[in-house]
Amino acid sequence: MVLSGNVPDTYFNNKVIRISQGKTLAINPGDKVYCSQRLSTKPYYSLLIKPRLLQRIAEEMDFYNEIRFSELQNPFSGNLFWMMKNYEQEYDRKDRLPLLLDSLEIQIAALLLREFKTNIKSHDLCPDCESYVRLAAEYMRAYLSSNITIEDICNEIHVSPYHFIRMFRQRTGIPPHRYLLNIRIEKAKELLTCGDYAVAETATLCGFLSASHFSATFKKYTGCSPLDYKTNKKPAFYQNIDV
C-alpha cells in the first residue's frame, strides 16, 4: 500500500509506470517490478499470498480458473487497511499466534478478491442514470480511504468520464469530486468524535495524503481544525456538510 510520500518511476514488466499515492499494487505471479532509481521512501506494506489460497477462496465464489489481477494499481478500503495493520501488529508480537495470522491472511485475501479487479466475471450493470449515480456513490463510500480518481470510478461503473461528470452533477447538484470530499469530511468527523483515532490516523483513513492537507481542508469546510473538533472546541460559526 503506497500511502504517502514520493514514489520513483517504476518498471513493471519492462515498462515504465508512475505509481499513484494512496493505491495498492496487485502483482501476479511472474510479474517483474523494480524501481528506476534508489530513493528513500516512507514505510509501506507488502504481503505475499500463496496462489493456492486465492484459488480456494475463488472456488467458493464459483470461479475455478487461475486467478489473475487485471489492474496493477487499485484503490483500497478502510477495511483492508486495518486488516493489514492488524496482521502487522500480530506478527510483531513476541507471543504471536500462527493460527490467528492464518485467519487474518485468509480475510485479507478474500477482501483483495472482492475489492480488486480480477478475471472473475462480474454482473452487468443496469445502464440508467440513477443506477450509475448510486453505484458511484457506493464506490466512493467504500474506497474513501484510497486516492480514487474519476477514472477509477468510471472504470468501475463502465461509463465515460465526460458523461459521468455531467450525469452526476445533474442528479446530485454537485460535481463528483466535491461529493467525495463531503463524504471524507463527514467520515473524518465521525472518527474524530469517537476519540479512538489521532488526527494523522484520521487523515489516512479518510483518503487524505498528508495530515497537513487534511487539517487545512477540514478547517476550510467546517470552520475548525480537526484537533479542535476532536476536543469539542467548535467555534460559533461551525458548519455542517450535507452529503
Return the pLDDT at 80. Answer: 87
What mean pLDDT comes out for the span 63-78?
87
Residue 171 lies in a domain: yes
Burial, 16: exposed, middle or buried (Cβ in 10 Å; 0-12, 13-18, 19+)?
exposed
pLDDT winner (highest mean) among 45-49, 73-77, 138-142, 239-243: 138-142
101 shares a domain with 145: no
173 shares a domain with 72: no
Mean pLDDT of the chain: 84
Q: Which residue has the cell 475548525?
A: 224
Return the pLDDT at 122. Answer: 55
Q: Taking the model in full, what pTM does it have?
A: 0.68
**Number of domains forming the structure of the chain:** 2
133 shares a domain with 35: no
* CATH, residue 207: 1.10.10.60
232 shares a domain with 155: yes
234 shares a domain with 138: yes
Residue 214 lies in a domain: yes
Q: Are 47 and 87 in contact (CB under 8 A)?
A: yes
- Nearest 5 degrees, angle CA 193-CA 134-CA 209? 45
One-character DSSP codes across 54-69: HHHHHHHTT--S---B
Return the pLDDT at 240. Answer: 54
Q: Which three cell numbers stand for residue 46?
A: 507488502
Return the pLDDT at 233. Answer: 60
Range of the domain at 19: 10-115
